[in-house]
Structure 1
Amino acid sequence: MPYNLFQSAEKKKLTSRRDMHPATAKWYDRRDSVFIEFCVADSKDVKVSFDKTKFGFSCLGGTDNVKYENEIDLFEAIDENESKHKRTDRSVLCYLRKAQPGKSWLRLTKEKPKPSWLSVDFNNWKDWEDDSDEEMGNFDQFSDMMNNMGGEDDIPDLDDESADSDDEIP
């Protein structure tokens, strides 16, 4: 009889696992950190766990209170004490502080095959390895440069030009 109780407990555990869905996520790499954004609107009961080589996320999301759960074996180690997360109405953004700053992560996961729920956030991606601090342009300097390029005084006035010679062809 204890065997059947164990089976029903295992069955219950499997059933509850089936109710869980992985949340869609995007990630990007920076010099001293990695960011992961879980795209879950109206998230509640958000739980994030940081471990040196693992990362866990779970929450209830949407109006239907769908259960989301993600667990990631990380590509490299993180500083779990300096890692944080922030919940917004549309997503949960996680900041993972790298244990070895300045080392590029080729991928987020330890395993090479990428999970189907994970993608690269190309809108925030930056090839920081190729940039040195001296070469990195400052937006203020860019604005100053654009302001110093000359204004409308340098543009010739074309309104007074005579009709184009092509206009006279019958």
Structure 2
Amino acid sequence: MTGSWKQFETEAPELAKRVHARFTAEKSHVLATLRRDGSPRVNGSEVEFRDGELLLGSMLDAVKARDLRRDGRCAIHAFPGDPEGGGDAKVSGIAEEIPAGEDMHLFRLALTDASVTWVEDNTLKVETWWPGRRRVRFERPENGPAQRYEL
């Protein structure tokens, strides 16, 4: 199941705000795509939030654009910067090419999940959203066993 950025904002507004903040704090992020043989490839990438959608751009005929056109499954890791500055954000989904002109490729990301990972009081925390489901938080205090909470 996939969802739009707008759906994410509606279903999990606080988490969406944190993920958005991480992706707008820096310009360049790490995009993971799939090569023709199924092995992973990572690329630098920029994102844009427009009209309730998360968009990825690419130079015309770039390798990452060819990967996404062949198999849209991908993940984007926001440039972490200062780990104390809001956590580590990631989104995964399926990129769908949309019209963008003759000199570039533009993809809308249909989200399959979004998450933020952070440390608070010596406890690792991971909060994740999936479209149409309840958010889940995993907490691992003092590097011990993980505990799961439905939010």
For the aligned pair, the TM-score class normalised by the smaller chain equals under 0.3
Greater radius of gyration (CA): 1
Alignment TM-score, normalising by the size of structure 1: 0.24
Specify which structure has the higher proportion of strand.
Answer: 2
Alignment TM-score, normalising by the size of structure 2: 0.26
